[in-house]
A and B are shown apart, each in its own frame.
Chain A
Amino acid sequence: MPAAISVENLFASYDGKTVLNDVSFSIPRGASFALLGPNGAGKTTLVSILCTLRLPDRGTARISDFDVVRQPTKARETIGVVFQDSSLDDRLSAWENLEFHGLVHGLAPRLRRQRAEDVLALVELTDWSDEIVRSFSGGMRRRLEIARALMHQPTILFLDEPTVGLDPQTRQRIWSYLERLRREQHLTVLTTTHYIEEVESADQVCIIDHGQIIVQGTPADLKAAHGSRWLHVVPRDEATATEIAARYPQTQRLGTAHALPVSDDAMADAFLATYRTRLEEIRFQEPTLESVFLSLTGRELRDRADGQRDAQRNAGRRGGQR
């Protein structure tokens, strides 16, 4: 069976600047694939190419085995897209937005009604069906967009930063819908995000920075290969603290606690054998994708991403001119 999405040696540039530099990957059907990286890493450009909105400079991308450059219409029939910023018509009601989507995808009247009811129920917006979208909150809009992207029963769903600007509760809710959908409808889901905690449940994670794929694998593999385990301890007295710091130079002080990178079990055992009785608190921290990103790029993902986002927002406020 051909892969749902396969990308080979993709290059793209914008204003002479390289945005994608030799990107290759392949996503099997029914998988969830997370593209993780700071803003400006090339995620949105990659998604635009995959949903046939822009052309790559070089390389090939195939969606459901259709080439996005040569068979864009065929490729479009199999995809649903949720864009980074809203693409709803906020002067129409929720129902009218869905009706529009059904019409441009050529669904027959009865099917249109049926699907619109189904997807509205799925995202719990049935009661808001006739309300004009302008009155919707950010979370409701995003849910409606997800509903709309699913209306024509695509086999592949693209989500470009689906939870940006939403409160944690709404983000949680959106992820639970997506997870359910993937299980029940055997959808292939490609998500881009810079929220690390959101990719933990993905089958495959691909870390992208400066237009290049840095690493790809399951979250567990990535953590095993690139993340380190930490031992957090709180010493009983200052003497112990000084002794630990002297014996393990990589130790970092985090308030009263000390964090030691754990190289292997023997090291941890040796440490505990010596200090067990002189500690108030002992805690192991398993590696996270945050630490994977840190060790691969030498940067914190979150800080940079948020800084850039603010810069983009300010640029947006200066006026709608490009």
Chain B
Amino acid sequence: MNRAITLFRGVYGVWLREITRATRDRSQMIGGISRPLIWLLVLGVGLNPYFRGEVFGEVKYVIPFTYLQFLFPAVIVLNIMYTSIQFAVSVIWDREFGFLREVLVSPMPRSLILLGKVLGGSTVAMIHGGLVLILARFADVTLGIDQMAMALGLMFALSFGLTCFGVVLASRVRSFEGFGVFSNTVILPLYFTSSSIFPLDPTLSRTQTATAYPEWLVFMVQINPITYAVDALRGTIIGFNQFPPYYGPAVIFAMAAVFFVWALIGFRRQ
């Protein structure tokens, strides 16, 4: 029992440090706020009219939602992705500037050090995802308490998995400069191929059926795990799923488990 309390204090300490650091990092906070504004205000509002078509004088939607509503859950995922993967920088920082050794010579087990760190990173990422929810009314999205709770749960699990992914990346990258380039080449392609900004089926009218998406794109969307994360949040927030509803949560929790184990293997080696 005593040992459990001792270990819990350690995890709390590591977690608390991440939160404290995040609240002092203004630039990260500004990114967390400006990103959803740009995506929703510029892209969302700008493309809103093109998301429907007029067929024989009748207005039709690709899906029964406006583009802003369709995009809204994806922007949450985007914000989480940026913050989680950017978290790797904090891991590289600890390693290169020596702070890591301070924790490694403490009696805490490696796995709990990593757990505390990842929990800290995922809390920050979830909060950044939550910032997007403030814009819900603007995007014409209404959320009940139960939907909100479920969305936050999914967001936390997604943040956890992606933060672990960031730690895995960090164990392979040696410099900060390298990581900056790296993160953009990972985040944006994953985001764009996750059916986040366009639905999988473009058919609206008979003419559009002829111009279906090429197979390679559909394939890329289907193998991208972020697709299912976006789908899960979309299902929870606006009630629209492109895949069976259980796919999303299953993929999110599987990512969390797999990446944590993978991150742990890399972390133990240090």
- Which of A's residues lie within 8 Å of B, judged by CB? 51-53, 73-74, 76-77, 79, 81, 83, 85-89, 91-92, 96, 99-107, 148, 319-322
Q: Are B174 and A104 in contact (CB under 8 A)?
A: no
Of chain A, the residue at the smallest CB distance from B3 is A106
Q: What sequence of 0s and 1s flags, for each residue 171-192 of chain B, a beta carbon within 8 Å of any chain A beta carbon?
A: 0001110000000000000000
Q: Are A321 and B9 in contact (CB under 8 A)?
A: no
Q: Are A320 and B16 in contact (CB under 8 A)?
A: no
Instruction: Give chain B residues whose Cβ lies under 8 Å from the Cβ of A107.
Output: 9
Instruction: Give chain A residues whose Cβ lies under 8 Å from the Cβ of B12.
Output: 103
Which one of A51, A88, A106 lies within 8 Å of B7 (CB-CB)? A106
Instruction: Give chain A residues whose Cβ lies under 8 Å from the Cβ of B14.
Output: 100, 103-104
Does B20 lie at the interface of the complex (its beta carbon under 8 Å from any beta carbon of A)? yes
Instruction: Assess A322 versus B174: contact at CB under 8 Å? Given A53-B101, A89-B99, A91-B21.
Output: yes
Q: Are B105 and A81 in contact (CB under 8 A)?
A: yes
Instruction: Assess A76 versus B107: contact at CB under 8 Å? Given A106-B10, A319-B175, A321-B175.
Output: yes
> Distance (Å) between the CB of B176 and the closest chain A CB?
7
Does B24 lie at the interface of the complex (its beta carbon under 8 Å from any beta carbon of A)? yes
Q: Are B16 and A100 in contact (CB under 8 A)?
A: yes
Q: Write 6 A-B pairs (CB below 8 A) sorted by A numbering.
A: A77-B107, A91-B25, A92-B20, A104-B113, A106-B107, A322-B174
Q: What sequence of 0s and 1s flags, for each residue 151-177 of chain B, a beta carbon within 8 Å of any chain A beta carbon?
A: 000000000000000000000001110
How many B residues touch A, CB cutoff 8 Å?
32
Q: What sequence of 0s and 1s flags, for each residue 92-135 of chain B, a beta carbon within 8 Å of any chain A beta carbon?
A: 00001111111111111100010000000000000000000000
Which one of A74, A92, A96, A103 lies within 8 Å of B10 (CB-CB)? A103
- Which of B's residues lie within 8 Å of A, judged by CB? 5-7, 9-10, 12-14, 16-17, 20-21, 24-25, 96-109, 113, 174-176
> Distance (Å) between the CB of B133 and the closest chain A CB?
28
Which one of A52, A88, A321 lies within 8 Å of B174 (CB-CB)? A321
Of chain A, the residue at the smallest CB distance from B100 is A87
Q: Are B13 and A103 in contact (CB under 8 A)?
A: yes
Instruction: Give chain A residues whose Cβ lies under 8 Å from the Cβ of B99.
Output: 87-89
Q: Whole-angstrom distance between the alpha carbons of A316 and B17 in the complex?
A: 27
Instruction: Give chain B residues whose Cβ lies under 8 Å from the Cβ of A51.
Output: 105
> Distance (Å) between the CB of B24 and the closest chain A CB?
6
Q: Besides the contacts A87-B101, A87-B102, A92-B20, what 7 more A-B pairs have beta carbons closer than 8 Å? A: A51-B105, A53-B105, A81-B101, A86-B98, A103-B13, A104-B106, A106-B7
Q: Whole-angstrom distance between the alpha carbons of A320 and B5 in the complex?
A: 38
Q: Whole-angstrom distance between the alpha carbons of A188 and B105 in the complex?
A: 17
> Distance (Å) between the CB of A119 and the closest chain B CB?
15
Which of B5, B7, B105, B113: most chain A CB closer than 10 A?
B105
Instruction: Give chain B residues whose Cβ lies under 8 Å from the Cβ of A81.
Output: 101, 105
Instruction: Give chain A residues whose Cβ lies under 8 Å from the Cβ of B106.
Output: 76, 101, 104-105
Instruction: Assess A106 versus B109: contact at CB under 8 Å? Given A320-B96, A320-B176.
Output: no
> Distance (Å) between the CB of A7 and the closest chain B CB?
18
Instruction: Assess A89 versus B17: contact at CB under 8 Å? Given A53-B104, A83-B101, A104-B103.
Output: yes
